[in-house]
Amino acid sequence: MIHFVGAGPGAPDLITLRGKALLEQADIVIYAGSLVNPVLLGFCRDTCRIYNSAHMHLQETLQVMYAADEEGLDLVRLHTGDPSLYGAVQEQADALRERGIAFDMTPGVSSLFAAAAALEREYTLPGISQTLIITRVEGRTPVPEREQLTDLARHGASMVLFLSAGLTDRVQEALLQGAYRKDTPAAIVYKASWPEERILHCRLGNLHQTALDHQIRSTALLLVGDFLADRPAYENSRLYDPHFTTSYREARDS
Ligand code: SAH
């Protein structure tokens, strides 16, 4: 059986219990060596065969999976964060499906959540933004025309950008054409949850300079929005408001 597993953002205790159990029983592991913390491989048995997909192309990865399936072995394909975000997981899953090979998927803690935790922040503050835009600038992978950053920027929503740490000049310029301002709070979170994690607070107007000054070009998320303000002027949630009745609790006067 083939298991696609989210490794989490880096810290080895941020993999799920299910993901850890799958690693512990795996005969073969293919891990995304560019971003998965190799400490996680310590959960594997001594006899486990380990491949680093950073040195493999898609067909090579698939060949290892096909062979594992034929031998009836358990293979874990370990992806960074959650596999469903920029994970290139679907092309593998579809190839397996085409051959009738059984697989399952185990979610992981995305780096976007590890970054919010590192910043001790909430993306969705009532009165500030109830939407999180997860996107990237165009690199080698094209971004559809209707999703260009300048268009997404019209909403002024909380935003997190993957795979864009080396392109902060373009991010800054595009977002300033929308509803964000030069003084909109921003942050760069490098290697969230790793020992070498770094958090850089800035404003959108000096996002690019901040990345340059600290020589951050990869393995970082860019976060932008008023949810990052020192004291965001949000409203408290209705859910915990004593004057509102919910399905679990009656409203009270005080
Ligand atoms: N599936 C992953 C994302 C893979 S794309 C997830 O859910 O997190 C790779 C990009 O993710 C990197 O370029 C970087 O932008 C971001 N990334 C991955 N791990 C990170 C971490 N620990 N800290 C900050 N950014 C990270």
Is there an atom of ligand 1 within 6 Å of 163 CB? yes
Q: If you search the block for the tokens 């597993």, which residue do you land on?
A: 5
- According to DSSP, residue 167 is labeled G
Question: Would you state the pLDDT for residue 25?
Answer: 98
- Write the CB contacts of 190 (distance below 8 Å, at least 6 apart in sequence): 165, 196, 197, 198, 199, 200, 214, 216, 219, 220
pLDDT for the residue 254: 61
Helix (H, G, I), strand (E, B) or coil at 218: coil
Query: Which atom of ligand 1 sits closest to the CA of residue 84?
Result: 1
| 163 Cβ neighbours under 8 A, 6+ residues apart | 86, 136, 137, 139
Distance of CA 128 to the CA centre of its chain: 22
87 lines ligand 1 (CB under 6 A): yes
In which residue ranges of the chain is pLDDT below 70?
A: 254
Q: Which atom of ligand 1 is nearest to the CA of 79?
A: 1
